[in-house]
Amino acid sequence: MNAPRLIFADNNATTAVAPEVVAAMQPFFGPEYFNPSSMYEPALKVAGALKAARRTVAEFLGGAEPAEVVFTSCATESNNAAIFGVAAANPARRHILTSRVEHPAVLEVCREMQRRGWEVTYLPVDRQGQIATADFVRALRPDTLLVSLMHANNETGVVWPVADWARIAKETDREIVFHTDATQTAGKLPLDLAGEMQHVDLLSFSGHKMHAPKGVGALFVRRGTRLRPFLLGGHQESGRRGGTENVAFIVGLARACELAREHAADMERIARLRDGLEADILRTVTHVEVNGHGVERTPNTLNLACHFIEGESILYELMSHGICASTGSACSSGSLEPSHVLRAMDVPFTAMHGSVRLSFSAYTAEADVRRIAEVFPRVVADLRKLSPFWDQKHNRPRDDA
């Protein structure tokens, strides 16, 4: 039997590199190998490519200035650089405001700041994964240094009104620095740092979530933001990030930004596919919930919680049908802890372990989604047959479950 066609539905984890991106990068693995800082003529071309890439990324961010774009190795680095850098440049203020559902690249840095003596407030979320704006307002303090709240959640896709929160923060106190991790929205939702998001000071994102390769990201640093460099040892990036520029990957990131703009309409198609699949599954599978249901989500993400079965086994069976997805279940994580996001959302324990995240991209075909709609109910039914919490005879949860 032939192996089934691979259906990649884990695009919030990473994405396939676009062929256009590979082509754009190619020359820099060949004849254009020069260090962009070098003085001789051939290096000028490489420096020019770097400059053009910076301009493209600035445009992608909705009219940022090229000088406001700092290239990094990934969003994790951008987040580290943002939080540590702001704290180091503003030692008088000691309070950081973030949420319980941030990516570990923010959460763990905030915990480290606590160990170093800063105070951190972790805002709670409701059952849909949202933060009440009133909670946000009340948590702002006179000594608040930094707000770090993600634009969209990587597990549920729930989008937050960070532009509005940034405005409120600035209207409260201009000295507050506002950072957002936009790793899950870059390439999916428009980022408008000169317009709607004009009060956002720092914004992180990564290349490999938007069809550029792994190993490149960026940090938007609004002009005038107090930030101490995180990576010392070079004049590159105007002294804000030492290290010879990863030109090939930076050019790849810029190409991916261009593609994202060209294919903005694709996101509507993906949203339709996602919504269709969601409706299908809710119709064909009982005792399943959509995490983040009914609130604004990134167009490509569907997070399902299936009661009484375990996520890792769901993934395993999906894989046997050629479908790649991910789960927030404990068994899948190194720590044997279920997803901190779903816990913060108070997803019932019976369902938390059965959570599955399907995330699509521009390369997801309608046939792929149809196949998932067909396979998923079978997988759930198969596993429920094995579940001690499932009443096999009546095909419903056992009364004592």
Residues that bind other proteins (CB under 8 A): 36-40, 43-44, 46-47, 50-51, 67, 85, 88-89, 91-94, 133-134, 137-138, 140-144, 164, 168, 171-175, 223-224, 226-229, 232, 238-240
Q: Which is nearer to other proteins, 154 or 236 (CB)?
A: 236
**Does 331 qualify as catalytic in the annotation?**
yes
Rounded CA gap, 166 and 177, in Å?
9
- Indicate the SS3 state at residue 71: strand
Beta-strand pair 355-359/390-391: unpaired
Q: Which is nearer to other proteins, 19 or 117 (CB)?
A: 117
Closest approach of other proteins to the CB of residue 142, in Å: 3
Cβ partners under 8 Å of residue 51, min gap 6: 66
Rounded CA gap, 22 and 292, in Å?
35
Say which of 257, 306, 324, 331 is annotated catalytic.
Answer: 331
Q: Which is nearer to other proteins, 92 or 265 (CB)?
A: 92
Q: Which is nearer to other proteins, 42 or 104 (CB)?
A: 42
Report how far Cα 108 is from the mean position of its chain's Cα atoms. 16
Closest approach of other proteins to the CB of residue 65, in Å: 11
Rounded CA gap, 11 and 196, in Å?
27
Closest approach of other proteins to the CB of residue 186, in Å: 25
Closest approach of other proteins to the CB of residue 96, in Å: 15
What DSSP designation does 352 have?
Answer: H
Cβ partners under 8 Å of residue 99, min gap 6: 122, 123, 124, 125, 131, 149, 150, 344
Q: Which is nearer to other proteins, 38 or 392 (CB)?
A: 38
Closest approach of other proteins to the CB of residue 73, in Å: 19
Closest approach of other proteins to the CB of residue 68, in Å: 10
Q: Which is nearer to other proteins, 236 or 339 (CB)?
A: 236
Rounded CA gap, 344 and 326, in Å?
19
Identify whether the C-beta of residue 351 lies closer than 8 Å to the C-beta of residue 303: no
SS3 content of the chain, % helix, strand, coil (to 5): 40, 15, 45
Rounded CA gap, 23 and 20, in Å?
5
Cβ partners under 8 Å of residue 339, min gap 6: 155, 328, 329, 333, 352, 355
**Residues that are catalytic:** 331
